[in-house]
Amino acid sequence: MNKENEREIDLHQILIAADSATEAAEKALLARFRPDNADSVEAFYKSPNALVTSADLDSDKAIIAALKAARAPGRILSEESETNLSQDQSLTWLVDPLCGTVPFSTGMDHWGVSIALRRKGDLIAASVSLPSLGERLSAIKGQGVIVNGSPFSSSSPRQKLSESTVGLEVDGPDEWRRKLASGLEWIPSVSQINTFASATYPISLVCLGRLPAAVFYGIEPVHLAGGALIADELGICVTDDSGQVIDWSKDDELPVVVIGWPNIHDQLIKVM
């Protein structure tokens, strides 16, 4: 499958490669989840408020190995590493091998794996998993969504923002201080706020029809790309806080991303 001409890409083979990488990550992570001996999972901070565990690194290695075994083209841009798979630099795998390191490390379920393939500025394939819940969502751009091997569709669990629970993820204490001072004035317009210390988990809940919307502040594309493509395939809106589409061509941190079912998304944008 290692073809340098992007026009020759077989997207079905690409999705098989993505799912195989997600499956490899699932096995690596579940083997270390809720261990009998908590000390068996090593942890350190690569920067302030950026926890990394040996499980993150094992998952990252498993994903790289699976994509190499599938002869996947392009390069891998992971939260934990960068790897060149081929000379085709128009293709980038955006990978978060463990999105939700903190909840994973404490034995909570709200974590996941996110893998997406970007061609230039377009997200074209994705595989996202919630391993502890046994759910995997996959998509090829323009071809719908598959959940656990079957075609899938969903809808919003709520129609009124005032009755909705909305996910909220803010990256780090500095960003929290800024947002608590100014920027979260929309919160009283919703019924409840849930925060998960993960991006993959709440995005997946939105896609599965269990959460109407989620808002992310100060977040990098590797955390969001997989879920964003799947959301788009389901008819879920993915924009900034002014309702503009996200530019996926860059790897820079995204100031605000709002993901929600159309009716809730529209109401949310109006109060932001």
Domain of 184 in residue numbering reads as 161-271
**109, part of any domain:** yes
Residues 211-241: tens digit of each pLDDT: 999 999 999 999 999 999 999 999 999 999 9
Q: Tell me, what's the pLDDT at 39?
A: 67
Q: Give the number of residues written for the chain.
A: 272
For residues 232 and 158, what is the distance between their CA atoms, to the nearest angstrom?
A: 18
Q: Tell me, what's the pLDDT at 3?
A: 42
Average pLDDT, the chain: 94
Instruction: Check whether residue 168 and residue 111 sit in a common domain.
Output: no
Q: Tell me, what's the pLDDT at 38?
A: 65
Instruction: Check whether residue 220 and residue 253 sit in a common domain.
Output: yes
**202, part of any domain:** yes
Q: Pick from 105, 135, 152: which residue ends a domain?
A: 152
Instruction: Check whether residue 248 and residue 214 sit in a common domain.
Output: yes
Q: Pick from 152, 169, 199: which residue ends a domain?
A: 152
Q: Pick from 152, 187, 207: which residue ends a domain?
A: 152
For residues 136 and 215, what is the distance between their CA atoms, to the nearest angstrom?
A: 22
Domains of the chain: total: 2
For residues 119 and 92, what is the distance between their CA atoms, to the nearest angstrom?
A: 7
- pTM for the structure as a whole: 0.94
Instruction: Check whether residue 128 and residue 168 sit in a common domain.
Output: no
**1, part of any domain:** no
Q: Tell me, what's the pLDDT at 91?
A: 97
All residue ranges of the chain with pLDDT < 70 are 1-7, 37-39
Q: Tell me, what's the pLDDT at 23?
A: 98
Residues 82-125: tens digit of each pLDDT: 999 999 989 999 999 999 999 999 999 999 999 999 999 999 99
- How would DSSP label each residue in 222-264? HHHHHHHHHHHHTT-EEE-TTSPBP-TT--SPEEEEEEE-HHH
